[in-house]
Structure 1
């Protein structure tokens, strides 16, 4: 009996030490959790380390490849908790517990960044516009040569051989349409004057039609390509992470989307121009647009479906109350605001 008690006493410290070391799951989601080999950093990582230090908790990180794997480990009780950009939803609440909110978030739309000047050039350099410009040049050339026929021998400007008169005649017609012509080069013959009047009057209609065509092309292009709201996503190539709150949101709006399992794969697809828009968590998209996607992505101002991030714990976890109290202390002493400023540039 004494031997059994001795063995139990020897085993108890080992068991206690094993239980004291918590396992916290996380996934690569910059800037909340960033995994670079054995180094793990990020806003949520730093916040958890503050909590663990306050509560004197020993822990080790367990990294996984996907967000779904991380949540499955929590709901099954295989880990003691999880940190990243974990949105609190009713569906997840039924499978696990959450701490006090650690970050206010929401869904946002990211689209390719396009300079307005490049958009105008893209609209102008089209087959229809090119044909219209060629037709205008041909009409001006024909009109100038016809004026040469009328004014040859009567006007010093047109008194030259046909080969030498080609460009001067075209230049005269172009200036007549654009600037009203030159007073010193006014036609002298009756047919020339009559034709010049017809050319000026006709140019008013021609220029109006030409300008209207360009305006219509730019308007149609803007309506077809610009994304300024959720309604503009209809028929566009939308990307998000499958199983995320963004995918649930898009399905509830009957919007077709391309669901990726990996966030890096989603951003790569966007960078290659294969997506017209990405719908995902606002801070994640903002971090991408300000870093890897700088100059290539922009975010729409409106935030859809406000959400809160929190630390996830297995249902009934005894750590929840302690962690909540620690989070409140971190907010009260200003540590939270300093941490947020470190990762996002401002406390709010």
Structure 2
């Protein structure tokens, strides 16, 4: 009886053992959302890199599951620590990463490019000039002029007056302060009291700096429209509000060139900041920026037609992975039989595939 029970228990556990064995053969593919290379559409993992990997896996008869990470560093760490058998996205091959993991031959050629607000005539110029920052500066300026004018009213109220009451004096006092600020002179409204003259002289001196500051801010906002024409080298972005993502090869490139930038945890946060006009320019992988412009920008962004640093994307593997050679050989076959070119044209168009 005991032998019968043990045999029955063995039969019950056999399917579970078989399932565990199947899972041990299943590869773990790490990725991160980077449209159009890796993304989720209607609950399905897709994108150029994932579809290319799917073709490779089919050729090699490999089973796999996809683990999607929130950030690029998390994805690469999963490969480095052996929690993933490989990583697929828009992973640039560079010397620093090569010390931590292996790469296949390149699956895509891209580069660092810069995205700026598009030029759109008078309407776009007005939107650029009247940015929240500039509007705030204008409001602060109006309030400051009103306070300065009312201060002069206090000094001058016994020798001459802008009005008998503060309410009546507010606009004439503001107008006087505005004229002093713009012209740098009293004209006919010279202060009569000693304190008024001292205060007025200080205002004239200060007006030189205030006007210069205002003009500099206005010019900086208006010239955003021409930033694309001015950027011939990546260092031309210095002094602009530039954004990229944490841990990206673009961030390393900007560091190397001494260009200041704001680093965002992920691509969505970066693009949201650009849409809010918190950034003057975005430096990132050209194909991803081009895809964003095509699908999400509504004509409000454009890509500077210059590649500042050529990059090659590859599939990341743990060091000394046995998958490297089979994947490389399969990639070569897919390029030779036209499968790779067809896939590239599907996602980027015939013009891009021909370059």
TM-score range, shorter-chain basis? 0.5 to 0.7
More displaced stretch, 221-230 vs 252-261: 221-230
Structure 2 gaps, min length 5: 1-5, 131-214
Distance across 1 between alignment mates of 2:243 and 2:221: 21
1:285–1:121: structure 2 CA closer, same or farther, 3 Å change rule?
closer
Partner residue of 2:50 out of 40, 45, 48:
45
Which residue in 2 is equivalent to 1:21? 26
> Which SS does the other structure have where 1:101 is aligned?
coil
Deviation at 1:305, TM superposition (A): 1.0
The two structures, once aligned, show a CA RMSD in angstroms of 2.9
1:54-104 CA deviation, whole Å, 9 max, x = no partner? 000000111111111100000111111010000001010111111110000
Which residue in 2 is equivalent to 1:247? 251
TM-score, with structure 1 as normaliser: 0.66
> Superposition pairs for residues 208-219 of structure 1, below 5 Å?
none
Deviation at 1:340, TM superposition (A): 0.4
1:124–1:78: structure 2 CA closer, same or farther, 3 Å change rule?
closer
Is this contact kept in 2: 1:123–1:221, CA < 8 A? no
Matched length: 251
Distance across 1 between alignment mates of 2:345 and 2:283: 25
1:20–1:277: structure 2 CA closer, same or farther, 3 Å change rule?
same
Partner residue of 1:76 out of 55, 72, 81:
81
User: Does residue 65 of structure 2 align to residue 60 of structure 1?
Assistant: yes
User: Does residue 299 of structure 2 align to residue 280 of structure 1?
Assistant: no
Which residue in 2 is equivalent to 1:323? 327
TM-score, with structure 2 as normaliser: 0.65
Which residue in 2 is equivalent to 1:34? 39
> Which SS does the other structure have where 1:317 is aligned?
coil
Distance across 2 between alignment mates of 1:61 and 1:289: 27
1:140-193 CA deviation, whole Å, 9 max, x = no partner? xxxxxxxxxxxxxxxxxxxxxxxxxxxxxxxxxxxxxxxxxxxxxxxxxxxxxx
User: Does residue 306 of structure 2 align to residue 302 of structure 1?
Assistant: yes
> Superposition pairs for residues 154-193 of structure 1, below 5 Å?
none
> Which SS does the other structure have where 2:34 is aligned?
coil
> Is the radius of gyration larger for structure 1 or structure 2?
1
Distance across 2 between alignment mates of 1:326 and 1:34: 23
